[in-house]
Amino acid sequence: MTKDQRGVTVWFTGLSGAGKTTIRMAVEQELRAQGYKIEVLDGDIVRENLTKGLGFSKADRDENIRRIGFVSHLLTRNGVIVLVSAISPYRDIRDEVRSRIGDFVEVYVNAPLNICEERDVKGLYKKARAGEIKQFTGIDDPYEAPLTPELECKTDQETLEESTARVISKLKELGYLPANSRVTA
């Protein structure tokens, strides 16, 4: 079943380990179950396919986000709900992508650095602290938190279900999902 829907890019940004992908997956599951057209652009997967060869300098990170933003824009203007989970550490490039896409909902997935380090399933923080990874966001490269995101999910203070419900609710509030839809999360 395909629903008439308005395209939007939902951009989950935050430190590694904050919960971006976890929330994105829960939102995706809920929206797919209701028949919405969804595309997912996950930062790790995009780096393996669309932006292979880019490093982690500011210029390369910006180009990575521009490319994700370009694909998001194409999908969004064609009525697709695009769920992006990418650290995207620099505010200026997120704002550039927002202005290009237009229908853009920024979700700041916020967890304190110490919590992200405790959740470090890939062992990246440990490697960064040991000097094995350079330019790691939150350690020796900055993360610029959004100033006015549409939504902030504090994953050290709310459950996955609460965060997911808040994202769905925000999409309804902004008119991207019908207010009377069965999507509840």
Alpha-carbon 73 to chain mean position: 15
- Integer Cα distance of 100 and 46 in angstroms: 19
pTM for this one? 0.91
In whole angstroms, what is the distance from residue 146 CA to residue 107 CA?
9
CA dihedral of 20, 26, 29, 33, whole degrees rounded to 10: -140
The residue annotated as part of the active site, out of 16, 85, 88, 163, is: 88
What is the sign of the dihedral through the CA atoms of 138, 143, 18 and 155?
positive
Can you give the residue ranges of every domain in the chain? Answer: 8-173
* pLDDT at residue number 1: 40
End-to-end CA distance of the chain: 19
119 with 21: CB under 8 angstroms? Answer: no
DSSP code at position 179: T
User: pLDDT at position 184, please?
Assistant: 53
Task: Give the span between the Cα atoms of 89 and 16, in whole angstroms.
Answer: 10
Q: What pLDDT shows up at residue 8?
A: 97
Q: Is 16 a catalytic residue?
A: no
For strand 8-13 and strand 81-85, is the pairing parallel, antiparallel, or unpaired? parallel
User: Is domain 8-173 in CATH 3.40.50.300, yes or no?
Assistant: yes
pLDDT along the chain (185 residues), means of 10: 78 94 96 94 78 78 90 95 94 95 97 90 84 82 92 96 96 90 57
Q: Give the C-alpha separation, 157 to 53, whole Å.
A: 37
Short-list 27, 15, 48, 43, CA closest to 183? 27
Question: Which 3 state secondary structure label does DSSP give 33?
Answer: helix
Distance of alpha carbon 109 from alpha carbon 133, whole angstroms: 23
